[in-house]
């Protein structure tokens, strides 16, 4: 199976760079602040693109059937592959009603974990934490269609006599001599008298390894921010896919 990474773009990024990438995710669609439907639906997309809907604008009086009908029209006209509901606000009766209406469409739909237990559709998961094994991360979602957000990231774990705590990454730290093949990250250590800091980072090459591993657990698609991953990651993915197919 070929590794497919969908680059999530804003409307401005798509109009400037969209033609350069075959796998896109339109991330600009949100609830209208002036009406009962959606705003910023894409006027055009390459076939097999992904349509993302966010809840940046809070849901208040929006019509579930109107929202679902708008998405159905776009899916049919633009031949999109899937709808990802990237809802980050707390679930409530209105957002759940909208989510159920969208999930009932005859298309592939994935929702964030806060909504997944209520619905029998796909799940759209945030990036796997650097300290979590993929198998453990996906275990609660067996037999579900999984879409995974991927990102390069860093953070710091401080261990002392009182236990351990996650801290903000040290931006000046750039020493990662060790690799963890199972966690798909690299790390370095800072040994002090009272504590030890573990600096963890998932670089682009680690991300490619992670994605290859995730396919063993049934992940059907990956989504990453164009602002972070851009074309260089796509080129690496294309080369990696070509090696797998040769």
Condensed to tens digits (0 to 9), the pLDDT of residues 70-124 reads 999 999 999 999 999 999 999 999 999 999 999 999 999 999 999 998 899 999 9
Q: Which domain holds residue 185?
A: 154-199
For the whole model, what pTM was predicted? Answer: 0.91
Indicate if the pLDDT at residue 53 is higher than 60.
yes
Same domain? For 93 and 190 the reply is no
| Mean predicted lDDT score pLDDT of the chain | 91
Indicate if the pLDDT at residue 244 is higher than 80.
no
Q: What is the pLDDT of residue 71?
A: 98
Same domain? For 73 and 145 the reply is yes
Answer with the residue of higher pLDDT: 4 or 88: 88
Q: DSSP readout, the chain?
A: ----EEEEE-HHHHHHHGGG-SSEEEEEEEE-SSSSSEE---S---TT-EEEEE-SSPPSS--HHHHHHHHHHHHHHHT-SEEEEE--SPP-HHHHHHHHHHHTSSSEEEE-HHHHTT-SSEEEEPPPPTTS-HHHHHGGGTTS-EEEE---EEEEEEEETTEEEEE---TT-----EEETTTTEEEEEEE-SS-EEEEEEE-HHHHHHHHHHHGGGTEEEEEEEHHHHHHHHHHHHHHHHHHHH-
Q: DSSP readout, 15-33?
A: HHHGGG-SSEEEEEEEE-S
Same domain? For 80 and 123 the reply is yes
Same domain? For 75 and 174 the reply is no
Burial class (CB in 10 A: 0-12, 13-18, 19+), 148: buried
Q: What is the pLDDT of residue 215?
A: 87
Q: What is the pLDDT of residue 234?
A: 59
Domain at 76, CATH number: 3.20.20
Q: What is the pLDDT of residue 229?
A: 87
Same domain? For 135 and 208 the reply is yes
Same domain? For 187 and 89 the reply is no
Same domain? For 65 and 186 the reply is no
138-195: pLDDT as tens digits = 999 988 999 999 999 999 999 999 999 999 999 899 999 999 999 999 999 999 999 9
* Total count of domains within the chain: 2
Same domain? For 72 and 87 the reply is yes
Same domain? For 122 and 10 the reply is yes
User: CB–CB of 196/187 below 8 Å?
Assistant: no
Same domain? For 139 and 167 the reply is no
- CB-based contacts of 179: which residues, under 8 Å, 6+ apart? 185, 186, 187, 206
* 196-202 and 185-191 beta bridge pairing: antiparallel
Same domain? For 101 and 209 the reply is yes
% of the chain with per-residue pLDDT over 90: 80
92-106: pLDDT as tens digits = 999 999 999 999 999
């Amino acid at each position: 199976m070929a590794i497919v990474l969908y680059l999530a773009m804003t409307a401005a990024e798509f109009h400037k760079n969209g033609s350069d990438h075959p796998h896109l995710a339109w991330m600009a669609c949100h609830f209208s602040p002036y009406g009962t439907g959606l705003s910023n639906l894409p006027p055009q997309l390459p076939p097999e693109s992904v349509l993302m809907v966010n809840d940046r604008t809070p849901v208040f009086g929006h019509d579930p059937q109107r929202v679902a009908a708008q998405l159905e029209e776009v899916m049919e006209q633009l031949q999109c592959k899937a709808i990802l509901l990237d809802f980050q606000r707390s679930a409530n009766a209105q957002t759940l009603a909208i989510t159920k209406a969208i999930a009932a469409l005859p298309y592939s739909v994935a929702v964030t974990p806060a909504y997944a237990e209520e619905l029998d559709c796909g799940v759209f998961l945030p990036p796997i934490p650097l300290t979590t094994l993929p198998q453990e991360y996906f275990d609660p979602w067996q037999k579900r269609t999984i879409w995974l957000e991927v990102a390069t990231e860093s953070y710091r774990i401080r261990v002392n006599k009182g236990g351990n705590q996650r801290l903000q990454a040290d931006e000046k730290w750039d020493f990662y001599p060790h690799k963890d093949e199972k966690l798909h990250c690299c790390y370095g250590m800072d040994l002090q008298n009272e504590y030890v800091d573990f600096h963890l980072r998932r670089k682009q090459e680690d991300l490619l390894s992670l994605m290859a591993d995730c396919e063993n657990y049934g992940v059907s698609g990956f989504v990453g921010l164009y602002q972070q991953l851009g074309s260089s990651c796509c080129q690496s993915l294309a080369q990696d896919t070509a090696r797998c197919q040769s």
